[in-house]
Structure 1
């Protein structure tokens, strides 16, 4: 299973989702490839936001080794599922889709809701972590259950 998490700058939400899902998959012994990207290029080559690193560390997840990158069209070829954090990300990623198959790979992480961007409100990192972790646990169950 190859999963990509996408947000705007790839410094807050998608690195958390990437780290959480990767951590949970490893705990379950799953050989999943998880990565993250941003629709914008402002932070390419940088670490995730220090607050995302700190909140993840509080929960035993290390995202400090991640490196921000921008979403690329060839990500459609590499990943089975592309989860985005909000409707803006959804529209931006789907605008790059070349085929119906590309379109079908892209969905909101929270299905019918957005993951709010905690960038401007320090007190939002903990609630964002918890909602993303809950959904990542569901993804593990959905994609790892016997068919």
Structure 2
């Protein structure tokens, strides 16, 4: 079984979308979760705009709850996908050794290998930003699923 973690800043916009999208593409033999590098929204549901765009595509992420990334996630998860450079740096700071570091990858490197492109944070924008993020993550998660299946 492969365990995958999606990480963004607050765990209410990008990473819950990525979690919901990837879960929809994989069998129950995989565990997919999400976390934030900050604890701003621990225990909170995803942003209503993330919930709405997910629902538009037949996914229900409304029951997910935000949580903060912690060191034990390196033990639990085989792959840790981050949304941007800041998330990457914050996760890497907690790494204990090279094996931890090797698990951390930029999600958009799936669609643009080696480029370390960032999934933009749609929090302060309008609904259109959430649609764009959904499309980016859907494409990347499709490639992740193809590799894992």
Q: TM-score range by the shorter chain?
A: over 0.9
The offset of 1:30, in angstroms, is 4.8
The answer on 1:134 being equivalent to 2:139 is: yes
| Cα separation, 2, equivalents of 1:47 and 1:30 | 22
| RMSD (CA atoms) | 0.7
- List 4+ stretches of structure 1 deviating above 6 A: none
Counterpart of 1:75 in structure 2 is 73
Long gaps (5+) in structure 1: none
Post-superposition offset of 1:54: 0.4
**Residue-by-residue CA offset, 1:61-113 (whole Å, 9 max, x unaligned):** 11001000000100000000000000000000001000100000001000121
User: What is the correspondence of 1:19-38 to structure 2 with a 5 Å cutoff?
Assistant: 19-25=20-26, 29-38=27-36
Structure 2: which 5+ runs fail to align? 110-114
Counterpart position of 1:62:
60
Residue 116 in 1 paired to residue 114 in 2?
no
> Between Structure 1 and Structure 2, how many residues are aligned?
141
Counterpart for residue 5 of structure 1: 6
TM-score computed with the length of structure 1 as normaliser: 0.94
